[in-house]
A and B are shown apart, each in its own frame.
Chain A
Amino acid sequence: MRVLGIETSCDETGVAVYDGSRGRLLAHALHSQVALHADYGGVVPELASRDHVRKTLPLVERVLDDAGLVAGDVDGVAYTAGPGLVGALLVGAVVARGLAWGWGVPALAVHHMEGHLLAPLMEPDPPAFPFVALLVSGGHTQLIEVAELGRYRLLGDTRDDAVGEAFDKTAKLLGLGYPGGPALARLAEKGAPDRFTFPRPMTDRPGLDFSFSGLKTHALTTLRGIDAGDEAARAAVAKAFEHAVVETLAIKCRRALVETGLRTLVVAGGVGANRALRARLEALATELGGTVRFPRLEFCTDNGAMIAFAGALRLAGGDAPTAELAVRPRWPIDELTPPAAA
């Protein structure tokens, strides 16, 4: 079964084809605003409109070409139906459902975060259910117990800022532009580890929720006492901030693994590309006698492959085609059910 996946929940337009029978990603393509922004060192208004309308169909054509397929070879179309921006979601939904209708194949609504947490399963030697998933991105910071496909329990969530947002905003305070999370991580590599100490929010009490907005304020206060030209001090602030974030995430991941009795941790989302976090969670997994798995770097951020993959798993599992054109800007992940159980 070959499934076309379309992702338009936010800034990126992602399209891919996944072959469920052969367990292989055939092609994928992404149009991202982020690269455009990075070239100009910040948000450039004229370049940044969320123009999924113009991008989606050309990407579909390109992906089918790359996969060596024609329209009749596609057995289903999966699209992100939420959570996300309502107008952006609708573009993907309308294109996907139009294509599916025209081709006479099922269209399936997919949950964006389910796509993220299943993404590491596309890699060779995939982890088996059950596992704990840590979803860390610009918009999300969640710990989820994954019992099986479609059975998810939210263990912890952020109370204020998402972790990627805390990275981006602290980067902005450091004068690194916006979004500047990866730039902050590069600066942190040069920073002295012991010059500043940042708090580890919400680790001194039980529970798996997160709070990251205080770290931004702490960075602001610390930076006030530093000369703007003092590169070593700025690097040390970046280091202390990143270390506090990584330790906080590691403490909560350890708790989640211990509380659920599970041994496998799966990390997804853009912050999953952070090297310090990867190294720390590898060490945690080793210490606990378990494993930690990450998707390849390009599938940490939003992409069409994860939607094609989740759609292929669900259609193969017996999910009925989605009957209505409806998107859900807010869609709690624990409302999902396993395929065929709905």
Chain B
Amino acid sequence: MKERRVDLADEAATRALGAALAATLEDGGVVLLHGDLGAGKTTLARGFLRGLGYTGAVRSPTYTLLEPYTVAVGTVYHLDLYRLADPEELDYLGLRDLDEPGAIFLVEWPERGRGALPPADLEAHLEHAGDGRRARLEALGPRGEAWLERLEALRPDDRMISNRHQ
């Protein structure tokens, strides 16, 4: 499967990667966000939402498990399953009612919802690298591969992925 690695020098770079994913989104998508506490999962989600034109506060969904955002292209569901004990608990979120065509899901700690989440297009693995972070984006199917191809086709100026500090 197709894969792409990006060095993220700072928080702005993580946000920019989120914005680049938003800029290349087509007709919905499901992105799983992996990484330790403080690796930048929520920051990437914030950049993604900013990229889709959402200007309000993007709060951590750790407590609420789910934060929905209405943007021009549809609804983005930002999930954080850290506190989830059992995938069955996703029923408490009414997740099954949300999985409509064109829906956009960003899921932190997705392994805790295994089997109960919509099929993913991309997996983003975030990890600490020196003072910055490193991201590995992995396509999980043809939709994800096409998404990564669109991401690579972004002009460097549009891509806004900050390698300039290196």
Contacts and interface: CB of A to CB of B under 8 A. Distances in A.
Contact of A87 (B63, B68, B91): B91
A240 B62 CA distance: 24
A216 B38 CA distance: 7
A217 B38 contact: yes
Given A160-B59, A169-B37, A173-B37, A87 B86 contact: no
B133 to A, nearest CB: 11
A160 B42 contact: yes
B146 interface: no
Interface string A171-196: 01100001000000000000000000
Contacts of B37: 169, 172-173, 216, 220
A161 B92 contact: no
Contacts of A330: 68
B38 A165 contact: no
A55 interface: no
A111 to B, nearest CB: 15
Contacts of A49: 85-86, 88-89
B58 interface: yes
Interface string A39-83: 000011111111000000000000000000000000000000001
Interface in B31-59: 37-38, 42, 57-59
B93 interface: yes
A138 B59 CA distance: 12
A158 interface: yes
Interface in B82-100: 82-83, 85-86, 88-89, 91-94
Contacts, number: 75
Contacts of A140: 63
For B42, B60, B64, B91, the residue with the greatest tally of chain A CB atoms inside 10 Å of its CB is: B60
B36 to A, nearest CB: 9
Contacts of A255: none
A334 to B, nearest CB: 15
Contacts of A329: 64, 66
A87 B58 contact: no
Contacts of A44: 85
Contacts of A173: 37-38
Nearest to A162: B63
A48 B64 contact: no
B65 interface: yes
Contact of B92 (A83, A86, A160): A86
Nearest to A51: B89
Interface of A: 10, 33, 43-50, 83, 85-88, 138-140, 157-162, 164-165, 169, 172-173, 178, 213, 216-217, 220, 329-330
10 contacts: A44-B85, A45-B86, A49-B85, A49-B88, A85-B64, A85-B66, A87-B94, A140-B63, A161-B60, A169-B38
6 closest Cβ contacts across the A-B interface? A48-B85, A87-B92, A139-B63, A220-B38, A86-B94, A45-B85
